Structure formats: structure tokens, C-alpha cells
Amino acid sequence: MILADGLFHSGTELGRSIGCSRSAVWKAIHSLCESGIEIYSVRGKGYRLAKQVELLDAQTIVSYLDPKTAAALRNLEVHFELPSTNTHLLKTVNENAYGGMVCLAERQTAGRGRRGRTWVSPFGGNFYFSLLWRFSIGAAQLTGLSLAMSIAVTRALRESGLDTVSVKWPNDILVSKRKLAGILLELAGESSGPCTVVVGVGLNIRASAPGMSAIDQPWIDLESVLRRSVGRNELAGKLINHLVVAIKDFEQGGLAPFLHEWQLCDEYAGQEVVLHLPDGEIRGTVRGVDNSGALLLAQAGEVRRFHSGEISLRAAASPGATNREPLL
């Protein structure tokens, strides 16, 4: 993308570079603006991005990988646009018996979150990533994997300088109770035999209000918290390193190696919350999670266990107050 350098480029220059007319350039610029990219247009100067963009580059990302991580991966792809990075890798499950596939995209047109929600995916500022991994164990033994993946993401963020990150069961990443990142796991295979998991991560790095206008819940982006620019390729390398290490640790020890970190990061530990289930609501106090990743909820002296599935958690409103916190 020629405009990625943050400098002004005239319509004539752009047209010459990509082999099209100035009219076609104008239409392309208009399309980019509609997708959420902020572009300045100045008569006599041309077009310039509001902020310089570091485009994702496979070779640069690989340069940030630890040798053991690089050896564990079979392929790393970067796409300009995909409907969904998760969907893209799921289509290759039968072709990738050994796993170790990574896919990133600058933009998603049909990104997905938990419970069938749409993941808003504007171009170039955020992070849309999926990792395909092949497990020798069955899907039934992977309960708690999503929590382990959320801890891996928090580790990568801390390595990048973010100290205020927390987690919300089962796998949302928060800063000041606003959503910074989300994780979506999708499985293919038998419950008792070898299976394949695609770990999808959506992370807000540089998010503009116009590009995120469709989101109906509190959100935040990494650059706003750190108050500096973030190298997207370097962050991608760190995230892949931590996810691969966490997956290998999970294969060896399940969720147990991650429980202490989860307890330290749990945003709602000891707080009263409301669980929204398909058949109603349940109120109780969070008592952490068990070794399988199930949420422990205390009610009238009894502790009940809840697995993620179609469950959503939010803070309970205090008596007499109106709780306007959207479901995350």
C-alpha cells in the first residue's frame, strides 16, 4: 500500500504506480475511507493517511520469532483482506495434518466473536490473527484451553509494556473494564481422538472512533493505553511466541500451569456478577475457576460450576442502580 508511508501522494502518482486512472484512484480512496481508514485529501498535494501504518509482513514477523517457535510452525501467511482468518484456516484442516499454521489479515469482512457476534475489523490498525494447531488428544481433554490462551495473550501484552491488563472469564482481555482483545477457539475432530484447534485473536492496537462505531460495548486500544505507537509486526511475533509456548505447556499439564496467573489477572474475582444463560439469568459471587476452566460461582453457600458455551458474564448492578454495562 503506497500510502502506508504517511506522505502525500497525488492522484496522478498513485494512478501511475498502480496502472489506473485518477478517477479510479478517487474511487479506491473513497472505498478505503468507507472501510474506516482516515485519509486526508489536500488540493495540490494529493492524499495522505491520517497516521502512518505499519503493514504486516511475514518475513518481518518471522524475524521476531524464537527459534523453537519458528521450528514449530509450518507456514505463516499475511493477507490484505479475508472474510475471517479463523474460517480461512478451518478450510485447510484436512490438508494440514501436522498443524502449526498461522494466518493474519489487515482486514476482515466477516470476522467472528463468541456467541455468533460480529468482530468489527477495520483495515490496518488492529490485529486479526489465527493459529491452527493439531492435538494428539481429543476435544474433551481441551477444556480450559481458551483460558490458557488468554493468559498467553496477557503475557505478550506485558512483554510489550502493558502492566494493567486483566482477564474476564472465559477469555476476554480487558483494560479498565474495557475490551482490548477477544479470543475465539474453534475445533475440528473427534471428542476422544486427535483434533485440530484454530485459535483466533482479535486485538485493538490503533482504533479510531469511526472505524469502531459499530461496537456496542466499551472498548480500548493498545496505543491509547501505552501512549505510543506499537510495532504490529513485533507484537505479532511476541504473540505467536507466547501462544505456541502456552499450547505446548497445556499439552503437557492442562490448565494447571496457568491457574495462578489467571487468579492474579481475574477482573471479577470475589465480585458479584450476573451470568446470562440461554434459559435465564443467575446471580452469584465469582470464586475463580477450577482445573477444567469452569467458572466457580457462589450462591447461598453453594458453589456451582459453569462452562463457557453460550454463557455471558457481566458485573451485577448494586441494589437500586441500573446496570448499563453491555454484555462482552
Residues with catalytic function = 114, 179, 314
Q: Report d(CA 4, CA 127) in Å as an integer.
A: 16
Cα 200 from Cα 135, distance rounded (Å): 16
**Amino acid identity, residue 108?**
Q
Strand-pairing partners, residue 303, are: 298
Helix/strand/coil for 281 = strand
Q: Which residue has the cell 492496537?
A: 205
Give, in order, the Cα–Cα distances in Å from 281 to each of 200, 269, 294, 295, 320. 28, 19, 17, 15, 18
Spatial CA neighbour of 123 closest among 225, 220, 51: 51
Asked if residues 313 and 284 have their Cβ atoms less than 8 Å apart, the reply is no
At 256, list the grid cell: 494447571
Distance separating alpha carbons of residues 158 and 154, to the nearest angstrom: 6
